[in-house]
Amino acid sequence: MLRPKQWIKNLLVFAALIFSKHLLDLPLLLRTALVFIAFCTLSSSAYVLNDLLDLKEDRSHPWKRLRPIASGAVSTSFAVLLGIILMGFSFGIGCLLSFKLLIIFLVYFFLQLVYSFGLKHVVILDVMLLASGFVIRAIAGGVAIAAHVSNWLLLCTFLLALFLALCKRRQEIVVLEKSAVDHRPVLAEYSEPFIDSLISVITGATVVSYALYTVSPEVIRKLGTDKLIFTLPFVLYGIFRYLYLMHQKDLGDNPTEVLFTDFSLQLGILAWLVVCFILIYFRM
């Protein structure tokens, strides 16, 4: 019910720590770890809320009907209580660290509320709202360590998250077919050709934005290296691999599951992280 596998998304809060060259600073690392924990509990409370609101739709879904609340394994009253506790814990960490972080947590939860209560039924805006959650995570990571987060990094984060959200919508249509609308009404406004055209646009925008980020004078000056462009092939491979899995293997309706199960994708991401670390911290 708490979606622990989805917590991997919250690792994005460490982006500011890595790219500000403070990864080896223990106090800042601990602050970022607390922000990571707060986002895990906060996002879990949002999942509980979403499951409560989507109870009817989940029961008509081939595998979401097995979720704890939809299957009846967990009572709605217990789910509500647990969601409130998790939310309170997250806001408590925000109060402990800084007022700005508390505001960020409140904004994030507010967006989850408006998404769950209506905007998830608004075409295009639904996926844009999902992507904005990733941007908020990146910003929170920067605020936690009082580091400036590059606009390029925020743009790349938003575009990549939007790419994954569109792929998820596409595969929901493919997998669920005629029952897709029963599960998620907004899918009636989407079609495979329409989403494929959007994915093509976002894929190009993501790659170009990342390439521009790596050669930006501001980034080169800040990181002390002009070699970050050599990480571009890993980004290309990751995106192309995901598109391959989506089109050829009918995967992609759950990005987290893809990441946990595809070794080639894992290897590509690990290689990107290692090369970034070497270039940034050893000034190569």
The CATH number for 84's domain is 1.10.357.140
pLDDT classification of 242: cutoffs 50, 70, 90: very high
Residues 142 and 1 in one domain: yes
Domain boundary among 147, 168, 190: 147
The lowest-confidence range among 44-58, 188-202, 220-234 is: 44-58
Surface-to-core class of residue 26, CB atoms within 10 Å of its CB (0-12 exposed, 13-18 middle, 19+ buried): exposed
Residues 104 and 216 in one domain: no
**Per-residue model confidence as pLDDT tens digits over 250-278:** 887 788 889 889 999 999 999 999 999 99
- Please tell me the total count of domains within the chain: 2
Integer Cα distance of 166 and 186 in angstroms: 13
Please state, rounded to an integer, the average pLDDT across all residues of the chain: 91
Residues 87 and 186 in one domain: no
Q: Which of 198, 230, 204, 233 is nearest to 215 (CA)?
A: 230
Residues 40 and 141 in one domain: yes
Q: Are 115 and 122 in contact (CB under 8 A)?
A: no
Mean pLDDT of 108-121: 90
Residues 11 and 142 in one domain: yes
Residues 110 and 164 in one domain: no
Residues 118 and 220 in one domain: no
Task: Look up residue 143 and give its two tokens.
Answer: 């605020």
Residues 142 and 20 in one domain: yes
Residues 26 and 156 in one domain: no
pLDDT at 146 over 80: yes
* Extended strands (E) in 99-218: none
Integer Cα distance of 177 and 191 in angstroms: 11
- In this structure, which long-range contacts are made by residues 22-26, counting pairs with CB atoms below 8 Å and at least 24 apart in sequence? 22/145, 22/147, 23/277, 23/281, 24/281, 25/145
Residues 94 and 157 in one domain: no
pLDDT at 172 over 90: no
Structural domain containing residue 226: 150-284
Domain boundary among 101, 125, 147: 147
User: Which pLDDT value is given to residue 114?
Assistant: 92
Domain boundary among 125, 147, 169: 147
User: Which pLDDT value is given to residue 255?
Assistant: 87
Residues 40 and 52 in one domain: yes
3-class secondary structure, 283: coil
Q: Are 97 and 104 in contact (CB under 8 A)?
A: no
Integer Cα distance of 188 and 179 in angstroms: 10
Residues 143 and 164 in one domain: no
